[in-house]
Amino acid sequence: MIAIIFYFSATGNSQYAAERIAQATNDRVISIGLALKDKHLTFDVSTEERIGFVIPTYAWTVPGIVADFIQQAVFSSNVSSYVYAVLTCGENTGKEAVALHSLLKEKGIGLNASFDLVMPDNFILWTDIPSEDRLDEILASADETIDQAISTIIDKQGNFSDSQLPEDLFMPLISISSSEGTSKFFATEACNGCGLCQELCPMSCIELNSENRPSWEGLCAMCLSCLHRCPVQAVQYGSETIGKTRYINPHVEDRLENIY
């Protein structure tokens, strides 16, 4: 009996959820970010008992990087597995499940169940990270939702019903060519040139200059990994993020392996 969980995670919420489900089900996890970076895009899922997608919500729909992965990936045909999605979000998932269903359908994969999982909101351009106490409450409530999802997944129950498609199936990848002066990302004087932002960027769009100072160029997934994971909080996005608290899911913050 084998089963697989695909996940994408910039700040660890979806990674944590995927790993907790995997612990309970003995399923194996595959990082979408690493698969894209390694160009490992062919998957024989014909014998999988279950297939899971644990992904964040971007602009009430599927992150562009996840859509890109699904569109590029070659899955084996005749997929008859039980397929579920766990959609992490800061507030609500909008029409993400329907959009994901539509993307998967193109690959001959159905969607049996989907679970909305409210977790700390990492989109600090528009919001602030809550107090420690509030974070603890959100994470405790998320654990309860994950437990309920695990029971449903193990019992292979369905709860997904198709509804009206959103206008945008996925959040477009944003072109932030710094050479054209459109990038709002920059590193402050606090940058120590450690190179972590470049190493972690799932889109490989951060370059270090001869003084090890990063610049942003190319197609960005807007995942905010570089911004939240910089050890000295040097990465800013315009003036929107100055002085704001950063966030990494506390259950996975000490581990850099398997991120995305």
Ligand X SMILES: Cc1cc2nc3c(=O)[nH]c(=O)nc-3n(C[C@H](O)[C@H](O)[C@H](O)COP(=O)(O)O)c2cc1C
* Tokens found for residue 98: 């329907």
Please identify which residue in 97, 150, 191, 259 interacts with ligand SF4, judged by CB under 6 A. Answer: 191
Q: Is residue 113 a contact partner of residue 159, using CB atoms and an 8 Å limit?
A: yes
Residue 86 near which of ligand X, ligand SF4, none (CB within 5-8 Å, type-dependent) = none
With 0-12 / 13-18 / 19 or more C-beta atoms within 10 angstroms meaning exposed / middle / buried, residue 229 is buried
Q: Which residue's CB is nearer to ligand SF4, number 193 or number 238?
A: 193
Q: Sketch the per residue contact string, 2 through 41, with ligand X: x for CB under 6 A, - otherwise.
A: -------xxxxxxx--------------------------
Per-position DSSP letters for 196-227, written without gaps between them:
HHHHH-TT--EEE-TTS-EEE-SEE----HHH
Q: Does 88 bind ligand X (CB under 6 A)?
A: yes
Minimum CB distance to ligand SF4, residue 65 (Å) = 7
Which residue lies nearer to ligand SF4 by CB, 37 or 251?
37
Distance CA 240, CA 4 (A): 38
Site string for ligand X, 183-222 (x = CB under 6 A): ---------------------------------------x
- Which residue's structure tokens are 């612990």? 23
Restricting to residues 130-189, which ones interact with ligand SF4 according to CB under 6 A? 187
- Residue 185: count other Cβ atoms within 10 Å of its Cβ: 23
Considering only CA atoms, give the Rg of the chain.
18
User: Residue 66, interface with ligand SF4 (CB under 6 A)?
Assistant: no
- CA pair distance 30, 247, nearest whole angstrom: 23
Residue from 224, 230, 235, 259 in contact with ligand X (CB under 6 A): 224
Q: Sign of the CA dihedral 43, 46, 47, 51?
A: positive
Decide: 41 and 6 in contact? Cβ < 8 Å. Answer: no
**Which one of ligand SF4, ligand X, none interacts with residue 205, CB within 5 to 8 A by kind?**
ligand SF4
Contact 114, 84 (CB under 8 A): yes
Give the type of residue at 176: I
With binding defined as CB under 6 A, does residue 124 bind ligand SF4?
no
Among positions 214-243, residues that touch ligand SF4 (CB under 6 A) are 214, 216, 220-226, 230, 232, 234-235
Which residues of the chain form contacts with ligand SF4 (CB under 6 A)?
187, 191-197, 201-203, 205-206, 214, 216, 220-226, 230, 232, 234-235
